[in-house]
């Protein structure tokens, strides 16, 4: 090989080695990129990017979702896309989680009698709060928690699979309940996260008539028949569809049925006529006006000759319909009207400790209310072919 050829080969080999060395330095950076901000959220994100500036996005908060416990409503921000709306009902806590494009919104209301604003820093200690972020691999506070006005704020940096997020935890209390809004967003969208947290907190609305209710109870809002009620989570719904009767098994000896009757009932004569039609052999124990409606107790005999007792709570819904709550008892001589009268007497009087307690049934009947709402229920939510939640349009 000539000297000239050797020189050319050396240049070619040298150039090749330079390229290889450069590629060795560059390729790891490509195959293992540094964490970026416009990334997907956990656990079920969609591929759409989170808006880069909410100031330029006209968000609509008018679509309101009612938690299945019927304790509060929250908006579902649009046009942000949500893959899931996940409610849960625990013993003393009603939670709703919206999961979507690079963002998670969590709202919960918890029974917390006696808790004050000044108690919140101790209630939400660093240890307690960091446990709530256990699905993330790295958690750090962006400064200490801060009481501002009537709310307590804590901001976080979060890491998931080398992706960076920011989060805001916002809480307040009225001495009866604790209210919490938590929002997670990409690390380059802190202003958006703060904006969403503030807007969700401003728009969280309790159902006023259930202000003293228990957070862990289940609710049933029928948007077709126009009524709502709440009941213990141990009661089991047997049959229900919007516009149809609701059947609930209270326990092995008691059942509850709610329906809207397409006839207005205004007086005792009409109530008794309706009862005679439904139970031709009914024997009325007693009747009284109670909680804005008529409460009537009676005994009846089944086609098999079995004797049972029952009660009706009849509430005038409007000039065209009536709400009817029917409770069936295994016993043949239970007078719920008498029990309601006794429950309203002086609490200082001694009661028979062996007598069955039906105060819970009376408490549930007090929650039965006619309503004219336009809230979105969990059953009404649908998803498109990409798994995105479709917000039903009002008729």
User: Which domains does the chain carry?
Assistant: 54-212 (3.40.1000.10), 224-370 (2.60.120.1690)
Top mean-pLDDT range of 3-12, 29-38, 126-135: 126-135
Q: What DSSP string describes 321-357?
A: -EEEEEEEESSSS--HHHHHHHHTS-TTS---TTS--
Give the Cα separation of 130 and 127 in Å (integer): 5
pLDDT band for position 391 (cuts 50, 70, 90): confident
Stated as kind and residue range, the H or E segment containing 202 is helix 190-203
Q: pLDDT of 221-276, one tens digit each?
A: 999 999 999 999 999 999 999 999 999 999 999 999 999 988 888 788 889 999 99
Q: What is the DSSP letter of 263?
A: S
How many helices (H) and strands (E) in the chain? 7, 23
Alpha-carbon separation of residue 72 from 86, 89, 210, 295 (angstroms): 15, 12, 9, 28
**pLDDT for the residue numbered 266:** 76
Q: pLDDT of 136-181, one tens digit each?
A: 888 999 989 999 999 999 999 999 888 899 999 999 999 999 999 9
CB atoms under 10 Å from CB of 107, counted, come to: 24
Q: pLDDT of 254-263, one tens digit each?
A: 999 999 988 8
């Amino acid at each position: 090989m000539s000297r000239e050829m050797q020189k050319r080969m050396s240049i070619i080999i040298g150039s090749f080695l330079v390229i290889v060395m450069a590629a060795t330095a560059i390729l790891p950076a490509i195959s293992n990129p540094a964490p970026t901000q416009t990334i997907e959220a956990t656990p079920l994100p969609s591929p759409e990017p989170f808006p880069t500036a909410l100031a330029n996005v006209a968000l609509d908060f008018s679509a309101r979702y009612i938690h299945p416990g019927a304790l509060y409503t929250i908006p579902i921000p649009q046009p942000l896309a949500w893959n899931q709306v996940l409610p849960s009902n625990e013993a003393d806590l009603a939670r709703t989680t919206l999961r979507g494009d690079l963002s998670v919104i969590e709202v919960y209301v918890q029974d917390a009698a006696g808790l004050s604003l000044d108690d919140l820093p101790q209630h939400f200690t660093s240890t307690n709060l960091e446990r709530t972020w256990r699905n993330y691999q790295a958690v750090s506070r962006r400064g200490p928690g801060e009481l501002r006005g009537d709310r307590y704020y804590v901001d976080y940096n979060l890491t998931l699979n080398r992706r960076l997020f920011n989060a805001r935890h916002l809480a307040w209390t009225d001495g009866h309940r604790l209210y919490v809004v938590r929002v997670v967003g990409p690390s380059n969208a802190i202003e958006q996260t703060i904006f969403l947290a503030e807007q969700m907190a401003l728009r969280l609305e309790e159902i006023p008539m259930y202000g003293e209710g228990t957070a862990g109870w289940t609710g049933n809002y029928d948007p077709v028949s126009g009524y709502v009620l709440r009941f213990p989570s141990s009661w089991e719904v047997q049959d229900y569809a919007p516009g149809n009767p609701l059947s609930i098994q209270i326990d092995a000896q008691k059942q509850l049925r709610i329906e809207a009757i397409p006839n207005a009932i205004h007086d005792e004569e009409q109530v008794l006529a309706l009862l005679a039609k439904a139970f031709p052999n009914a024997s009325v124990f007693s009747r009284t006006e109670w909680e804005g409606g008529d409460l009537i107790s009676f005994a009846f005999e089944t086609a098999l000759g079995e004797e049972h007792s029952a009660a009706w709570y009849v509430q005038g819904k409007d000039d065209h319909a009536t709400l009817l709550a029917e409770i069936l008892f295994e016993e043949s001589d239970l007078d719920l009207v008498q029990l309601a009268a006794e429950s309203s007497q002086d609490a200082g009087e001694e009661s028979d400790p062996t007598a069955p307690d039906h105060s819970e049934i009376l408490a549930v009947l007090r929650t039965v209310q006619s309503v004219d709402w336009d809230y979105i229920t969990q059953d009404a939510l649908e998803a498109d072919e990409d798994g995105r939640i479709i917000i039903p349009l009002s008729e």
